[in-house]
Structure 1
């Protein structure tokens, strides 16, 4: 205790006692935390009530894995589709580049062609980075393509080290460090993907490994990023939960004990237990500058943290969108549905067809009087999607007119009023449905069909 230094922390403006160093604990048998993850039972969330302080970084951002993790769970995108989505990402991120990076595979010629096409766009953000096998040949490929950074898989739980890699912790660390050094030797910045960190021995392996990474970074004067990969979605954001499941505990350990600066820490979450968004937000709050996301959450198994969700989390935490153009989110959703053929579930927040549609009759009445009552924010302004009211037996002429105006996004000079013949014809059809015993709301497809037929009878066109 007497030999430990007292130093000033500029972030908290408090004197702090220097922490102990954490050497590698090279166990003979794997520690797979079966007390927390008994395979024949539901995983357990345990608490020790060790609380760590908030440590929001000066700057936070989003990185994207749509073209890497996102492509591992669906048919590969074409080169043209990748370039189009990359263009959308650039527009969404805005002039400050809040969508900081996109990562790409480099395995095939098609992968590399897509990277070249995106590089030709000349955008500063999102910066194009790669994800490759840990080999010198692949590192040289990254350098030759003009990329500054690449991801490297460095699985860190004993499940992976002992059972998949058939190594000891010491052997795995030495192997990883030699690969990282090879990457640094040719001037490429490594991004170390700590796979399965929420089942890893944080103080016995992860922190000692990251301490060595920071030594290499200092030796070569090249940044080394650490991506915390919650591969199985086990992370929790509850105060006082034990590591390795505690998100804030992991981030605290990396910053305070391993000396990894916030701008070099990134969180990569999965949604197996419905916690991807809350865990990513927690990572920001406790010191990670980056959260790694996939568009619409498309990714392995239950998917990754949805990128569009973190855009709105950013705005709620910072009180500003910092130039991000959120209307692009709706354009991307339309592109996926109409051009790529990907079906977005109707109740998906921000992008699903029903996300801002009010169906209950009493709610619809409130929405028609003042949309702030039942709409989360001005969805017309931020997503170019007006609040909608589903049509039922309680909608009335005004409700049907509102539905048509909103669904077809009619400009003010073309908006329908409740006394117009088209509205009356649609209401007659709706009333007949319920007179014959219907109890469910009318679907959008049904209404579009009836409106089309009615327009033909009236010899008019809505758009």
Structure 2
């Protein structure tokens, strides 16, 4: 049937019919996933159109997937992180939801503490196994939505569950019906979607879910899970790895509304953020991530990176308080004793820091030359210089101009050729000539200031 699509302003064929392909042997896509070699990237040159939703948002799995890769959080730590996530999200709920385990007493206590805050965003949801008895936990906690594990690749269906596609599909639909009967919004986690038969299982499964959704007049959500980080976003790349194609298949062929779809990606091949962005651009409304990108193996898409990408794509922070990113990083370091890689964007110690003298010279003249944006205003992190034997006169001058109160608050800054700066550089060079390798500490720099910059102390 032809209909006029008001979104694309084109006549389009509305009805597509994809039936479950109940194969006898699993399709493991061996031409791509040989296991004894690096997975291959194939192209079929089929390019799908960009289709960004009217509204996009972020969802969180720090307290579920993220916690699986860290020492367990205490209830108090979860509550503090939830508060910071709420601050980052802002009043318009850019971070729409966060999910929790419900199995231990501590899990339940954490949920209750967060519920007491009364925040609209992030909405508290849960994750359960595809077991009817687990719905009792969801009901007991008063939650309106839960994630359900519905693995969709033959690796999981045949090799883990020991079922056929038909048996798996029937089992999943039965669980979803049980959720609907309890008045709970089900969120089906299509685990391992980037190794699944998209048109032989994923699309038929999604179509069945949309039928149930219409009958129940209740949303049934789909989280497309790139469980091992195999996703790619190159135009014309072949399925099942092509994120663009997966989103097109779900929205265009399976008829899943964008607001029902989330993307959950891992970073095994350094593609978590680029794949997440592609999912947004090709029809997915929600991107799932974790604070600082924590999670199994290489981790998930970092929430702070998604927040930045949101602003870049939409041209507005939509009420987000991005300074919360710096507070979150400090909490991870001080309270969770988590070692953030120094070069991690936005949260690492070396972000907004230079060690090169030529870069410091640029900062001394105009911050914008070598700083990615106004890090002080946006993240509450001023640009910094680390002092080593490569910092140069400019680096030393910049350090004192930004660290000594009398200089920091003054319009008259020290020039890199100031006599005192030259003497301090000579003293520092002497230390490194003697074999020093560590950067100068704040305490050491202040001691040199007492000797050579006394009038500014």
TM over 0.5: yes
Offset at residue 20 of structure 1 (A): 2.7
- C-alpha deviations, 1:221-264, integer Å up to 9, x for none? 11110000000100000000011000010000001111100000
The question of 1:124 aligning with 2:120 is answered yes
Name which of 276, 283, 302 aligns with 2:279: 283
User: Equivalents in 1 of 2:174, 2:264: separation in Å?
Assistant: 24
User: Equivalents in 1 of 2:22, 2:404: separation in Å?
Assistant: 64
| Equivalent residue, structure 2, for 1:97 | 93
| Equivalent residue, structure 2, for 1:450 | 444
Offset at residue 190 of structure 1 (A): 0.4
Change (3 A) 1:186 1:282: same
Change (3 A) 1:266 1:411: farther
Residue pairs, 1:58-457, within 5 angstroms: 58-393=54-389, 395=391, 399-406=395-402, 412-413=408-409, 418=414, 426-436=424-434, 443=439, 446-451=440-445, 453-454=447-448
User: Equivalents in 2 of 1:182, 1:401: separation in Å?
Assistant: 67
Offset at residue 435 of structure 1 (A): 4.2
Change (3 A) 1:461 1:310: farther
| Equivalent residue, structure 1, for 2:31 | 35
Asked whether the equivalents of residues 357 and 393 of structure 2 are also in contact (C-alpha less than 8 Å), the reply is: no
Change (3 A) 1:407 1:190: farther
Offset at residue 432 of structure 1 (A): 1.5
User: Equivalents in 2 of 1:459, 1:369: separation in Å?
Assistant: 21
Change (3 A) 1:454 1:437: closer
Q: How many residues align?
A: 455
Offset at residue 16 of structure 1 (A): 0.5
User: Equivalents in 2 of 1:462, 1:163: separation in Å?
Assistant: 70
Secondary structure (helix, strand or coil) at the match of 2:256 reads: coil
Offset at residue 456 of structure 1 (A): 8.0
Asked whether the equivalents of residues 426 and 450 of structure 1 are also in contact (C-alpha less than 8 Å), the reply is: no
Offset at residue 173 of structure 1 (A): 0.3
Offset at residue 434 of structure 1 (A): 4.0
Per mean C-alpha deviation after superposition, the further-off stretch among 124-133 and 13-22 is 13-22
Offset at residue 330 of structure 1 (A): 0.4
Change (3 A) 1:394 1:38: closer
Question: Structure 2, unaligned stretches of length 5 or more?
Answer: none
Offset at residue 166 of structure 1 (A): 0.3
Secondary structure (helix, strand or coil) at the match of 2:11 reads: strand
User: Equivalents in 2 of 1:280, 1:191: separation in Å?
Assistant: 18
- C-alpha deviations, 1:132-171, integer Å up to 9, x for none? 1222332122122111000000000000000000000000
User: Equivalents in 2 of 1:99, 1:425: separation in Å?
Assistant: 51
Change (3 A) 1:397 1:287: same
User: Equivalents in 1 of 2:17, 2:402: separation in Å?
Assistant: 61
Question: Structure 1, unaligned stretches of length 5 or more?
Answer: none
Asked whether the equivalents of residues 397 and 418 of structure 1 are also in contact (C-alpha less than 8 Å), the reply is: no
User: Equivalents in 2 of 1:297, 1:394: separation in Å?
Assistant: 32
Secondary structure (helix, strand or coil) at the match of 1:120 reads: helix
Offset at residue 448 of structure 1 (A): 2.0
Offset at residue 362 of structure 1 (A): 1.8
User: Equivalents in 1 of 2:429, 2:450: separation in Å?
Assistant: 20
> How much is the aligned-residue C-alpha RMSD, in angstroms?
2.5
